[in-house]
Structure 1
């Protein structure tokens, strides 16, 4: 999967597993590929099925803190649920009896993108755009799953040959950045041993990540792709410094040197794409991976694939079925379903995070366009000061409705993503309850829902290993937007609790005439 050139440390020395050693009772070590700050990478064989795999064994001291280890396991399980041809598949994970965490991944023959970065031989604009477009294509799927890489760099991008295509991209190491950040935070001395300093210098980290540490925002990855693109076509990173402090100051305050300083043949429009991707302000960057791919198409990137023609995933199919039912109800009633009411159904923290979500998805210009179509009272409330501890009218959800109509794809996925954003924010603020297991998380959802929304009484009606049903009854004012948003909220909450392949269905909808909202959930 990895070449020894991927890692700067020689592939020998103490702390390595011996040839023939067996990890987790079934992975026989064949050879050491390389060692780095986080641990070592091995080529191994799954003796049970005869499959060649790659195993990354991490240093045991990174798991000294139990909370850190559990957090890493949740992230790794979420990453294992990603299915994309340009993402290295995570097959297994665990902790050895000696204390070393390990991750088992598919074995891919290839080389690291870092081997292409040479100041004396920068690659062509077309080749760089093609590679960056593939990275962004993978990130689009990753971000849709609610995952942010946060440690994207050339060493975490593989180039292989697939279906006769050279430079076929595979990205990896999801969740490990979170693991190391958490281990660093948990260190009582504020320092790790040299072998544990896996994060290195933050060449690919945006200003907000440097200031705040852990940042769960897809635009962090957009920034990293911009830095990688800059480096591919010039051979140099846009920000440098003699010391870590100087580097961080440069990233936060200095403009990047123009590309023409290094080569004069880079089109101005191509340079503008890079400048936008690495803007200091996240709101000034491309807001989605798809947006940046579209900008790179004229320079060699493959156009983004429109996956709306033949949807096969359960969520998209269910949402489109719901949209069709909504149209039928509209036809029967002769009008649209009731708009969100003026009752105070939304907690202040929900409104604050919905504003952040909208800024992230459509930018300030998009928000201005949306608010221009909103009722005057909604417009005024949306831009007013919001208290986290207050309660606000559900009419504010009409802003999300308008944005969905203008920027969505007709399947309400835009609204579902808003719910997922709320779950991420709740987890960050410690308001998502226990995340020890998906089952425990699901049982606590009624209390979590009540702390965010006031639109009925939520209670768990069915539960067990890998499944559950949540019902919201006694609706004084049912709202379709809020019900759809809850799908994203519940699904993301389960992912954060370690669920793999969660599937949440809105089986009954009070806003469309049912007696209650019923959410059916399954996971593994």
Structure 2
């Protein structure tokens, strides 16, 4: 693909990643000179024609949703979405930085202040997503990027996002991060799914556990304690009540919205001029709140 020019405008430079849906390339916009990211549907191998068309439709819908949310701070801007040589393609803002998963692999568990800063920034982003009538459905460290020295959070991959208030065509998400009702294909999609995933994120960052005995390859188990006793004891006291409420089994027992989560997190968020936390992530997401002039 190196050297290929898409739409006489976007020149592919190198492959930088892959997902279940497509290949991601770094490219350059020949009109502006800016770097862009190109997500290209995987080439057809042994799939039936209808299967490959369904995958293309998923990416087309992702491009549409991403374009719809391009104005949201923390969502990559989309430059173009369409077909390239019978493969669906999305050209978007190129972001430089580690995923949250990569950052956590070097430094975990994190302090309560860091967990609050990550989830606080995500609440700001996801609040806008919910206002647009969408639910992300796949919030996890691999879909979160820390950008710039201030650790500005960006939320990636709207491939599984769905309209709120409707039953989805199929269940989707990643095990460990999925609410119990997310495994039910007939369940209506609600913002409480994202609230649950954010609660899982707090647990993952601070005590390295998923609720109800779930794993990335298995679902939560009804009747299983939220956390084993040792993990529950290790959960930071200042986050415990909120995190456990966010991962409540019943959606109605969770905070009603990410705005409510953000309000409850507010006392834990760093203030301008605060020192960096010990064992800070790199880049440090608390800098977004601590350093004057970086908040927006």
**CA-CA distance at 1:224 after TM superposition:** 0.8
1:97-496 counterparts in 2 under 5 A? 97=85, 99-118=86-105, 121-161=108-148, 166-176=150-160, 201-212=174-185, 215-240=188-213, 244=217, 247-250=218-221, 252-257=222-227, 261=231, 264=234, 266-267=236-237, 269-300=238-269
Q: Any stretches of 5+ residues in structure 1 without a counterpart?
A: 1-17, 186-198, 303-524
Preserved contact between residue 39 and residue 91 of structure 2 (Cα < 8 Å): yes
Preserved contact between residue 211 and residue 220 of structure 2 (Cα < 8 Å): no
Q: For residue 211 of structure 2, give the secondary structure of its aligned residue in structure 1.
A: coil
**CA-CA distance at 1:114 after TM superposition:** 0.6
Equivalent in the alignment of 1:44: 27
Alignment deviations for residues 500-520 of structure 1 (CA, whole Å, 9 cap, x no partner): xxxxxxxxxxxxxxxxxxxxx
Q: For residue 29 of structure 1, give the secondary structure of its aligned residue in structure 2.
A: strand
**CA-CA distance at 1:287 after TM superposition:** 1.3
* Residues 211/234 of structure 1: CA separation in 2 closer, same or farther (3 Å cut): same
Alignment deviations for residues 241-284 of structure 1 (CA, whole Å, 9 cap, x no partner): 6894xx2252x4423215852764711x4111111111111111
**CA-CA distance at 1:238 after TM superposition:** 3.1
* Residues 238/158 of structure 1: CA separation in 2 closer, same or farther (3 Å cut): same
- State the alpha-carbon separation in 1 of the partners of residues 83 and 161 from structure 2: 18
Q: Any stretches of 5+ residues in structure 2 without a counterpart?
A: 163-167, 272-296
Preserved contact between residue 118 and residue 235 of structure 1 (Cα < 8 Å): no
* Residues 118/133 of structure 1: CA separation in 2 closer, same or farther (3 Å cut): same
- State the alpha-carbon separation in 2 of the partners of residues 37 and 137 from structure 1: 27
Preserved contact between residue 86 and residue 170 of structure 1 (Cα < 8 Å): yes
| CA RMSD in angstroms, aligned pairs only | 3.0
Aligned length: 261
* Residues 23/42 of structure 1: CA separation in 2 closer, same or farther (3 Å cut): same
Alignment deviations for residues 417-444 of structure 1 (CA, whole Å, 9 cap, x no partner): xxxxxxxxxxxxxxxxxxxxxxxxxxxx
- State the alpha-carbon separation in 2 of the partners of residues 236 and 94 from structure 1: 40
- State the alpha-carbon separation in 2 of the partners of residues 200 and 85 from structure 1: 23
Preserved contact between residue 93 and residue 102 of structure 1 (Cα < 8 Å): yes
Larger mean CA deviation between 114-123 and 101-110 belongs to: 114-123
* Residues 175/23 of structure 1: CA separation in 2 closer, same or farther (3 Å cut): same
- State the alpha-carbon separation in 2 of the partners of residues 57 and 20 from structure 1: 15
Q: For residue 90 of structure 2, give the secondary structure of its aligned residue in structure 1.
A: strand
**CA-CA distance at 1:100 after TM superposition:** 2.1
Among 65, 68, 78, the residue aligned to 2:65: 78
- State the alpha-carbon separation in 2 of the partners of residues 173 and 52 from structure 1: 18
Q: For residue 117 of structure 1, give the secondary structure of its aligned residue in structure 2.
A: helix
Preserved contact between residue 213 and residue 227 of structure 2 (Cα < 8 Å): no
Alignment deviations for residues 190-243 of structure 1 (CA, whole Å, 9 cap, x no partner): xxxxxxxxx675111101111226752111111111111110112333354689
- State the alpha-carbon separation in 1 of the partners of residues 229 and 121 from structure 2: 22
**CA-CA distance at 1:153 after TM superposition:** 0.8
Preserved contact between residue 43 and residue 55 of structure 1 (Cα < 8 Å): yes
Q: In proportion to residue count, which structure has more helix?
A: 1
TM-score (ref. length: structure 1): 0.45
- State the alpha-carbon separation in 2 of the partners of residues 242 and 154 from structure 1: 14
**CA-CA distance at 1:51 after TM superposition:** 2.1
Q: Which structure's relative contact order is higher, taking Cα pairs within 8 Å and 6+ residues apart?
A: 2
Preserved contact between residue 160 and residue 169 of structure 1 (Cα < 8 Å): yes
Structure showing greater radius of gyration is 1
